[in-house]
Structure 1
Amino acid sequence: MLQKIFQKLENPKRPLLGPNVKALQFWGLLLPKNKFMKRFYIFMHFAVTVFTATECIDVWFVKSDMNLLLNNLKITMLATMSVIKVMTFLFWQKSWISIIEYVTRADLNQRNTTDPKKLELLKTFTQYCRKITFMYWSLMYTTVIIMIVLPLYKYFSSETYRENVKNGTDSYIPVVSSWVPFDKSTMVGYLAASIYQSYAAIYGGGWITSFDGNSMVIMVFFRAELEFLRIDAMDIFGTESEQVDQEVALKRLKECHSRHVELVKYARIFDSCLSPIMLLYMFVCSVMLCVTAYQINIETSAMQRLLNAEYLVFGVAQLFIYCWHSNDVLYASADLMCGPYESIWWTKSVVYRKDLFLLVEQFNKEVVFSAGPFTKLTVATFINILKGAYSYYTLLSQSQMK
């Protein structure tokens, strides 16, 4: 069953980004050309954006209850981050489309190779992209399902809770804390609010999975392309036993140079689209991780602790995957310079060596992704964010003990 679903997500024209592009199209981040469908998706985006605004308004009404306030803040910050992701994706739609087309074009060119080493690497990278995409989708929607099911589970599993709700000593647990212009303490009002909240949670989850999944796979592509460039640079002059003539060597050298120029160009475009998002995301994740850890510590309900723990895992995984793959790209970029020196350059004349030196200088350009103008996305940055979140958690815990 799952295998058939996964097969339908594949696209022979986009062997690497097939499922990711389909997700972007399904959730409306890549707007269709059809005017009706385009307006439909814009309306859907607007509806979730309005819902996010109601979450912010609700902060005022729950400010007296620390637990409700913290729960609202962590959800609202993540929702606001999702809205910003989508708005920037729509605003920079042309840049994102150019990046996707470049990735597809370069990937298809690599798949025309007959080199068994490169074919094996292509298979490995493609399988890896599918794993992180589907695992990330699963993690996201596990979180969404728990958020939606938890209120129903508590209502039907706890007779005491039902009685408390009926006599007014307790209130309905919302799917997501948000303000509505009607009384949500009644069954009808609560159901109406829950339907809107569930819709926003599901659609917001689609935003996150499609945007993040696409970005992560593109990062994997840049690492793969850098590794392929290193392999091709090693083979510029052929092997000691089978050397190529001057014309072929010069052609290979030019191809390596032009491919790296294009890679650097699109890596910078990708970074310009992603960098502002990651700067905000680092701040949001620091607060979100701190708040979630604190809630796990003070929560008495086992079900609520489970939800908070799953939410914490999702928050850590989101940030870690970005930092990990950016870190991979950085190291692949640094190792790329070894490629020309691993060729049989010592058998060639000074003229060849000068051309090879120009290629080395081109390969010396660092490819890495950043979070604004302040820091690079690396594993070291991820560890620093965890340290910062733990510091905030300690401060929050101590302030509540006084």
Structure 2
Amino acid sequence: MGNKILKNLEDDDHPSLGPTLYGLKLWGMWQPKRGVSSFIYNLVHISAIMFVLSQYVELWIIRSDLESALRNLSVTMLSSVCVVKAGTFVLWQKHWKCIFDYVSTLEKNEINKNEAITCRTIKEYIEYSRKITYIYWCLVTATVFGVILAPLASFISSPTDETTNNCTKVYPEIMSSWLPFDKTHGIGYLAMILEQTIICFYGGGIVANYDSNAVVLMSFFFGQLKLLKLNCERAFEENSGINSHEYINKIRNLHKQHSSLVKYSKILNSLLSPVMFLYVIICSLMICASAVQLTTSGISRMQQIRITEYLLALIAQLFIYCWHSNEVSLMSLKVDEGVYASAWWSQNTCVKRNVLLLMGKVRRNIIFTAGPFTSLSVPTFVAVLKGSYSYYTLLSKREN
């Protein structure tokens, strides 16, 4: 049953991007056709922005209560990143379409050649991207249900002395947000819970599909750079009887292949970089806020489980970006090894000169950035964790 559902997500026109494009379209970010559905999706995105603004209003109201403010802040900042991801994706549809068309067209052309090494390389990175996508979707789904159900479990298991002035238990809320009516009981409380539940599923879908789409595209660039390296290794053959003109055409095609990868990686980076710049800054604060909550005295076991799962999801979300960007960067620096490993030495002087130019051309670092100040890499991931720990230490000393 599960395999059948996953198989239905595949798309022959988009070998790598089938499941992620389906998810992006389902959550209203990918809108290839304008119409009534597009208008409705955009209204949903605008409603989500309004909800995030209400979270900031509530944060201002409860600013004197540090524990409640930190709990609100950790969720509000993640909500902010969600609406930024959705908003930028919708606004930059033209550029995303440009990347999607390039990726799918290139893969279909290469698969149609039916060349063994090429097909095997493409199959490897597609299978890898599928595993990462489905595992990440499961992680986000578990986090969403944890955020929704944990307050209820905490409420049920809480001591009976946690009461209000009316000697009744305080009803839990999924996240803190401002509403223009009484949300503590009755219809107002039910309306709040329904709204926040819908927002949780909305935000989870945005995060799951946006991030998995980025990881699939990074895996594509990694796989294509690896394939380019293999093509460079096979470009020259000793005593093959091929004339110099044909070898120069091969070199020209390798130049074009690498130039296209650099061009579209820059387009992808221009789309991801502003969002990731915001996320890297916010992620440090969110991890710190979650750590402070986790070590607060008097916190219940259910709250600890909820915060721990939330904290792990934050760290995993940042890690997959930094890891895959780092992998693309390392592979981009290894492409020239393929040229060196080929039989270039068996060619004449004219071909060798062109090979030298090719080696200089393909040794170009491709890395994705978080704004103009830092790159998405494993050292950046470690630096964010260190910064979060520093903020946590500072807050802990202030409390003491």
Q: Scaled by the length of structure 1, what TM-score is found?
A: 0.95
Quote the residue 1:263 is aligned against.
Answer: 261
State the Cα deviation string for residues 210-260 of structure 1 (Å, max 9, x = none): 11110111011111111101111111123x364533343222211111111
Quote the residue 1:140 is aligned against.
Answer: 140
Q: Which amino acid aligns with 2:373?
A: F
Quote the residue 1:205 is aligned against.
Answer: 204
Which has the higher mean CA deviation after the structures are superposed, 126-135 or 28-37? 28-37
Measure how far apart 1:31 and its partner are.
Answer: 1.7
Quote the residue 1:340 is aligned against.
Answer: 339
Measure how far apart 1:305 and its partner are.
Answer: 0.5
Conserved? CA contact 2:81–2:279, under 8 Å? yes
Quickly say closer, same or farther: Cα 1:243–1:221, change in 2 above 3 A. farther
Measure how far apart 1:355 and its partner are.
Answer: 1.1
Quote the residue 2:312 is aligned against.
Answer: 313
Measure how far apart 1:383 and its partner are.
Answer: 0.6
User: 250, 253, 256: which is aligned to 2:251?
Assistant: 253
Measure how far apart 1:96 and its partner are.
Answer: 0.9
Conserved? CA contact 1:165–1:172, under 8 Å? no
Indicate the SS of the match to 2:175.
coil
Indicate the SS of the match to 2:15.
coil
Indicate the SS of the match to 1:298.
coil
Quote the residue 1:280 is aligned against.
Answer: 278
- State how far apart, in whole Å, the 1-side matches of 2:58 and 2:81 are: 17
- State how far apart, in whole Å, the 1-side matches of 2:34 and 2:225 are: 37
Alignment of 1:3-402 (within 5 A): 3-158=3-158, 160=160, 164=163, 167-168=166-167, 170-238=169-237, 240=238, 242=240, 244-298=242-296, 300-401=299-400
- State how far apart, in whole Å, the 2-side matches of 1:151 and 1:282 are: 28
Q: Which amino acid aligns with 2:212?
A: G
Conserved? CA contact 1:32–1:38, under 8 Å? no
Q: Which amino acid aligns with 2:132?
A: I
- State how far apart, in whole Å, the 1-side matches of 2:375 and 2:242 are: 40
Q: Scaled by the length of structure 2, what TM-score is found?
A: 0.95
- State how far apart, in whole Å, the 2-side matches of 1:115 and 1:102 are: 20
Indicate the SS of the match to 1:78.
helix
Q: Which amino acid aligns with 1:71?
A: R
- State how far apart, in whole Å, the 2-side matches of 1:371 and 1:152 are: 37
Q: Which amino acid aligns with 2:365?
A: E
Q: Which amino acid aligns with 1:144?
A: V
Conserved? CA contact 2:334–2:363, under 8 Å? no
Indicate the SS of the match to 1:33.
coil
Conserved? CA contact 1:237–1:244, under 8 Å? no
- State how far apart, in whole Å, the 2-side matches of 1:214 and 1:304 are: 31
Q: Which amino acid aligns with 2:36?
A: F
Q: Which amino acid aligns with 1:346?
A: W
Q: Which amino acid aligns with 1:135?
A: I
Measure how far apart 1:117 and its partner are.
Answer: 3.4
Say what the alpha-carbon RMSD is for the aligned residues. Answer: 1.7
Q: Which amino acid aligns with 1:330?
A: S
- State how far apart, in whole Å, the 1-side matches of 2:351 and 2:12 are: 40
% of aligned pairs identical? 38
Measure how far apart 1:45 and its partner are.
Answer: 0.7
State the Cα deviation string for residues 25-52 of structure 1 (Å, max 9, x = none): 1101112424110111011111111111
- State how far apart, in whole Å, the 1-side matches of 2:166 and 2:333 are: 66
Indicate the SS of the match to 1:164.
coil
- State how far apart, in whole Å, the 2-side matches of 1:93 and 1:381 are: 29
Conserved? CA contact 2:328–2:367, under 8 Å? yes
- State how far apart, in whole Å, the 1-side matches of 2:332 and 2:249 are: 22
- State how far apart, in whole Å, the 2-side matches of 1:384 and 1:151 are: 32
Conserved? CA contact 1:55–1:76, under 8 Å? yes
Indicate the SS of the match to 2:170.
coil
Q: Which amino acid aligns with 1:245?
A: N
Conserved? CA contact 2:276–2:370, under 8 Å? yes
- State how far apart, in whole Å, the 1-side matches of 2:179 and 2:370 are: 35
- State how far apart, in whole Å, the 1-side matches of 2:117 and 2:93 are: 35
Unaligned runs of 5+ residues in structure 1 are: none
Indicate the SS of the match to 1:12.
coil
Measure how far apart 1:81 and its partner are.
Answer: 1.0
Measure how far apart 1:164 and its partner are.
Answer: 2.8
State the Cα deviation string for residues 255-280 of structure 1 (Å, max 9, x = none): 11111111111111111111111111
State the Cα deviation string for residues 164-215 of structure 1 (Å, max 9, x = none): 3693565221111111111011132111101001111111111111111101
State the Cα deviation string for residues 366-391 of structure 1 (Å, max 9, x = none): 21111111111110111111110111
Measure how far apart 1:103 and its partner are.
Answer: 1.2
- State how far apart, in whole Å, the 1-side matches of 2:376 and 2:200 are: 28
